[in-house]
A and B are shown apart, each in its own frame.
Chain A
Amino acid sequence: MGDFLAQYGFLIVTMVQAGLLGLSLYFPLQAGQLSLASPGFYAVGGYVAAILLTNPAFAGLRESLGGALFPLTWLAAALICGLLGLVVGIPALRLRGIYLALATIAFVEILRVVSLNLEITGGAIGIFGIPQAFGFQDRWQYIWLFGPLLILTLLFARQLERSRVGRAFRAIREDELAADAMGVPPTRYKVLAFVIGAVLAGIVGAMSAPFLNTWNAKQGTFDASIAILAFVLIGGSRNIWGPVVGGALLTAVPEVLRFLADWRLVINGLVLVVASLYLPQGIVGALQGVRRPPPPRRPPSVPVVVEAPGGGS
């Protein structure tokens, strides 16, 4: 058990972390918004934590707070990412579909270039020598941070789906115009979904900076956006378990197949292709299809009898 944790602990925690990042993209998707901004907020959250934990300017704060600094970094990351999400979300969410996706990719790129140019983010080398959360020695111990966050997020997501807000999200996803006509203000709910995703990604980033020991501009890139989108699409975008399963699976496959050397990336590619060809609803969607009877169809519409002019039948 000890050996297993020492060897696969990092991977297990990375799987949970990937699931959380998938969920951060799932929230806007719930309101029908294809946003790829998660890696941007993830990067910002990580930088907030890394700066608070290493920058000489905060040395006094670190000394006086001790271990309580770690929850503070999560809080700071959540606040900053929430605000940033609001500022970016309001104008960006006027766009739809692929245009929104492009705008959010641009946002991620801007953040990356900014972090390469700022002194406080350490330029291209980034920030290193980040102290370990609560003195953790082994990577698997980070499950005590990411695990509860995942459980909380899933509970939150479940409650959200059942709530009035969740129904509004779904209404917007299915038909924004119809929802608007029914008195659901789309902009407000879209921004809310976007901000929830941003806050989650920010907290994950803040937890990840000590977990990875170092933080640099490579953490939030276009590639990461696509990877996280793949988590959601492969896992399934219509169910809270989809992003979690997809993230865990796509993170694990290349690592578990390490013994195959170069072939492991081929297998990873195959998984992506096969899943997207044969499981359009994602893995979780496909499993649900097996377990449950198909959803009830719309009742056959009442035949409309058109009276031909001039009568007759």
Chain B
Amino acid sequence: MKRLALTLTLGLLAAAQAQKVATPVPIGIAVAQTSNTALLGQEQVIGARFAEKFLNARGGINGTPIRLVFQDAAGDENSAINAFQNLITKENVVGIVGPTLSQQAFAADPIAERAKVPVLGPSNTAKGIPQIGEFVARVSAPVAVVAPNAIRQALRLDPKIKKVAVLYAQNDAFSTSETGTFQETAKAQGLNVATVQKFQTTDTDFTTQVTAVLNAGVDLVIVSGLAADGGNLVKQLRQLGYKGLIIGGNGLNTSNIFSVCQRYCDGIIIAQAYSPAQPSAANQVFVKEYRAQYKKDPPQFAAQAYAGVQVMVEALRALDRKKKLAQWDLGELRTALNKQILAGRYNTPLGELRFDKDGEIIQKDFYVAQIKMKDARTGSFVFLK
């Protein structure tokens, strides 16, 4: 049995090493195209497709075009692992952008790590992602870096804030880690966290939580949840008479929320890792093309997926200048690509970014937006200075 396993492993290694890099150069995209995570995943697909069209139109990798290979990572761990396996062994991609959720990254990224394939997380914001391995990096700033900006901005809008209520969706991995950051920041800013309330992403009635918030007499409410539950919670808060400022977490960071809380969405403050107003040339071209096609500003998830592909392509360009990509062995190229990704500096729509030695993103610019509703249906994110 052992010998059989050994032979198979050796055969596998030999096969992997003899492999050359295909043209057009395949880059894997493993994000959620189905399941309830697809709300985010669809925006990532759009962002990645944009990058493909865009970068190929500008010469691809020094003349060699790229080809994105999409595999649905759905919303669960098994699908993410299957998608990664497919991309690595069947599609022979040079690197992977994905998966959508942090929980999936914990399952699927070790697969790529063992196969020595570089991974860029487009939306994995939980603690510990770049530490999964040396082939794992992310272009999504962790919540610990993004979320505090919202509180600072709220204090700038209303310096008299003293008491805070914190609410979060207890069954959502992102929201539970985000609320930790919010609570720490609030305390660090000298605010008094008067009450902490939990809810579920499946809840529709928030009377208990709202009552507790109103009784505590707070001047600021911080909500970490997803669009449907978070939106309903805000709506009920306002309907029952809460007048102060509201901060929403990244889960509320989508225009899908407008139809949930309608007029009551007005004034929600949300920290952003991306702003369409970012002045760099890279972003302005991206925004212009995106608006032309979709008649609206690009969302954060699309911009991050775009940045993921862009980073891969720019790193590949640098390698191609040293030695033509077609002459590389696939295995060697993957290892070199990983090193190059971590070494470079990139001007992406997210602004200038680079990576630390773990693969954690070092991003310069962050933003805070406030929702402004025109009527019950349409609104927009207005970026605050």
Q: Hey, which chain B residues are within 8 Å of A190, CB to CB?
A: none
Tell me whether B54 is interfacial, beta carbon within 8 Å.
no
| A100-142 to B contact mask, C-beta < 8 Å, 1/0 | 0000000000001100110000011110110000000111010
Cβ A129 vs Cβ B33 within 8 A: no
Cβ A128 vs Cβ B33 within 8 A: no
Stretch of B102-110, B275-283, B342-350, B364-372 lying at the A interface: B102-110
Give the complex CA separation of A128 and B108 in angstroms.
11
User: Nearest Cβ in chain B — how far from A141, in angstroms?
Assistant: 7
Tell me whether A1 is interfacial, beta carbon within 8 Å.
yes
CB contacts under 8 Å to A, within B43-90, are 70-72, 76-78, 81-82, 85-86, 88-90
Cβ B33 vs Cβ A261 within 8 A: yes
Q: Hey, which chain A residues are within 8 Å of B12, CB to CB?
A: 2-3, 5-6, 138
Cβ B106 vs Cβ A1 within 8 A: no
Cβ A5 vs Cβ B8 within 8 A: yes
| A206-234 to B contact mask, C-beta < 8 Å, 1/0 | 00000011101111000000000000000
Interface centre among B72, B106, B111 (most CB of A within 10 A): B106
Which residue of chain A lies nearest to B133 when distances are taken between CB atoms in the complex? A129
Given contacts A212-B81, A258-B86, contact A3 B171 (CB under 8 A): no
User: Nearest Cβ in chain A — how far from B336, in angstroms?
Assistant: 22
Which residue of chain B lies nearest to A112 when distances are taken between CB atoms in the complex? B171
Which of B8, B34, B82, B102 contacts A265 (CB under 8 A)? B34
Stretch of B173-181, B204-212, B305-313 lying at the A interface: B173-181
Cβ A212 vs Cβ B78 within 8 A: yes
CB contacts under 8 Å to B, within A261-276, are 261-262, 265
Tell me whether B172 is interfacial, beta carbon within 8 Å.
yes
Tell me whether B244 is interfacial, beta carbon within 8 Å.
no
Given contacts A213-B107, A216-B103, A265-B34, contact A126 B85 (CB under 8 A): no
Give the complex CA separation of A122 and B76 in angstroms.
18
Tell me whether B128 is interfacial, beta carbon within 8 Å.
yes
CB contacts under 8 Å to A, within B140-184, are 170-173, 175-177
Cβ B72 vs Cβ A258 within 8 A: yes
Give the complex CA separation of A189 and B5 in angstroms.
42
CB contacts under 8 Å to B, within A126-174, are 126, 128-129, 137-139, 141, 144
Q: Hey, which chain A residues are within 8 Å of B88, CB to CB?
A: 6
User: Nearest Cβ in chain B — how far from A149, in angstroms?
Assistant: 16
Interface centre among A3, A213, A216, A265 (most CB of B within 10 A): A213
Cβ B78 vs Cβ A14 within 8 A: yes
Given contacts A10-B82, A218-B76, contact A212 B107 (CB under 8 A): yes
Cβ B89 vs Cβ A7 within 8 A: yes
Tell me whether B132 is interfacial, beta carbon within 8 Å.
yes
| B1-33 to A contact mask, C-beta < 8 Å, 1/0 | 100010011011001000000000000000001
Cβ A124 vs Cβ B172 within 8 A: yes
Tell me whether B321 is interfacial, beta carbon within 8 Å.
no
User: Nearest Cβ in chain B — how far from A140, in angstroms?
Assistant: 9
Q: Hey, which chain B residues are within 8 Å of A8, CB to CB?
A: 85
Consensus secondary structure, chain A interface: helix
User: Nearest Cβ in chain A — how far from B196, in angstroms?
Assistant: 13
Cβ A117 vs Cβ B170 within 8 A: yes
Which residue of chain A lies nearest to B113 when distances are taken between CB atoms in the complex? A213
Consensus secondary structure, chain B interface: helix
Which of A117, A141, A265 contacts B5 (CB under 8 A)? A141
Give the complex CA separation of A8 and B172 in angstroms.
31
Cβ A1 vs Cβ B132 within 8 A: no
Tell me whether B126 is interfacial, beta carbon within 8 Å.
yes
Given contacts A6-B85, A6-B89, A10-B81, contact A213 B171 (CB under 8 A): no
Give the complex CA separation of A124 and B198 in angstroms.
13
User: Nearest Cβ in chain B — how far from A236, in angstroms?
Assistant: 24
Q: Hey, which chain B residues are within 8 Å of A1, CB to CB?
A: 8, 11
Q: Hey, which chain B residues are within 8 Å of A9, CB to CB?
A: 85
Which of B85, B173, B175 contacts A10 (CB under 8 A)? B85
Which of B77, B85, B86 contacts A212 (CB under 8 A)? B77
Q: Hey, which chain B residues are within 8 Å of A249, CB to CB?
A: none
Which of A2, A123, A255, A262 contacts B33 (CB under 8 A)? A262
Which residue of chain A lies nearest to B131 when distances are taken between CB atoms in the complex? A129
Which of B34, B106, B132, B170 contacts A116 (CB under 8 A)? B170
CB contacts under 8 Å to B, within A232-264, are 255, 258, 261-262
Given contacts A1-B8, A125-B173, A214-B107, contact A7 B81 (CB under 8 A): no
CB-based closest 9 A-B pairs: A128-B106, A2-B12, A214-B106, A2-B11, A124-B173, A6-B89, A7-B89, A124-B176, A125-B173
Interface set of B (CB-CB < 8 Å, partner A): 1, 5, 8-9, 11-12, 15, 33-34, 70-72, 76-78, 81-82, 85-86, 88-90, 102-103, 106-108, 110-111, 114, 126, 128, 132, 170-173, 175-177
Please give 4 more A-B residue pairs, beta carbons under 8 A apart, in addition to A10-B85, A124-B173, A129-B106. A9-B85, A116-B171, A139-B81, A258-B72
Q: List 19 A-B contacts (CB under 8 A).
A: A2-B9, A6-B85, A8-B85, A9-B85, A123-B173, A124-B170, A124-B172, A137-B9, A139-B85, A213-B77, A213-B81, A214-B103, A214-B106, A214-B107, A258-B72, A258-B86, A261-B72, A262-B33, A265-B34
